[in-house]
């Protein structure tokens, strides 16, 4: 009777050690995944805070066909000009030309939009590839 009680205690002890080890490994993986997610989110926020641009046109002196927008990189890091999207009055303008492929901090680039607008007030929205955007109200 004494031997079977000892064997039962050993089996329960081994089972509890295996369960504890399984729980620790699952918990460790979960904590590592959460930590990586927090780090990625922090990097993304730091990038967003260091990126910025402004549309520096005079809104009362805009040309028509082509419409030329002057964009200044007011952030701390270079920005990509590869995928600049422009909406005029909510409509996508696909006939555009960007003056430079390299957009360093402090540099101004031109985005030429080959679009014929009616006389009056308009709104342009410039969106960069990472989602950073600016809205500009102007009159032609």
Quick: pLDDT tens for 31-69.
998 989 899 888 888 877 889 999 999 999 998 989 999
Instruction: Round the average pLDDT of the chain to a whole number and report it.
Output: 91
Contact between 139 and 121 under an 8 Å Cβ cutoff? The reply is yes
Identify whether residues 27 and 3 lie together within a single domain: yes
Rounded to whole angstroms, what are the CA distances from 101 to 56, 95, 107? Answer: 19, 17, 12
Identify whether residues 97 and 134 lie together within a single domain: yes
Contact between 106 and 51 under an 8 Å Cβ cutoff? The reply is no
Q: Tell me the average pLDDT across 25-35.
A: 89
Secondary structure letter of residue 140 according to DSSP: -
CATH code for position 123: 2.60.40.10
Condensed to tens digits (0 to 9), the pLDDT of residues 111-140 reads 999 999 999 999 999 999 888 999 999 999
**108: containing domain:** 53-139
């Amino acid at each position: 009777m004494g031997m079977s009680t000892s064997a039962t205690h050993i089996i329960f002890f081994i089972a509890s050690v295996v369960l504890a080890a399984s729980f620790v490994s699952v918990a460790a993986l979960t904590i590592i995944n959460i930590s990586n997610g927090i780090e990625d989110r922090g990097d993304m926020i730091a990038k967003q805070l260091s990126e910025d641009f402004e549309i520096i046109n005079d809104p009362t002196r805009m040309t028509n066909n082509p419409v030329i927008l002057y964009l200044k990189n007011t952030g701390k890091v270079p920005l990509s000009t590869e995928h600049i999207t422009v909406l005029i009055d909510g409509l996508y303008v696909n006939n555009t030309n960007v003056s430079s492929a390299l957009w360093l901090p402090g540099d101004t680039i031109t985005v030429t939009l080959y679009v014929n607008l009616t006389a009056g007030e308009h709104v342009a929205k410039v969106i960069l590839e990472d989602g950073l955007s600016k809205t500009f109200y102007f009159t032609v």
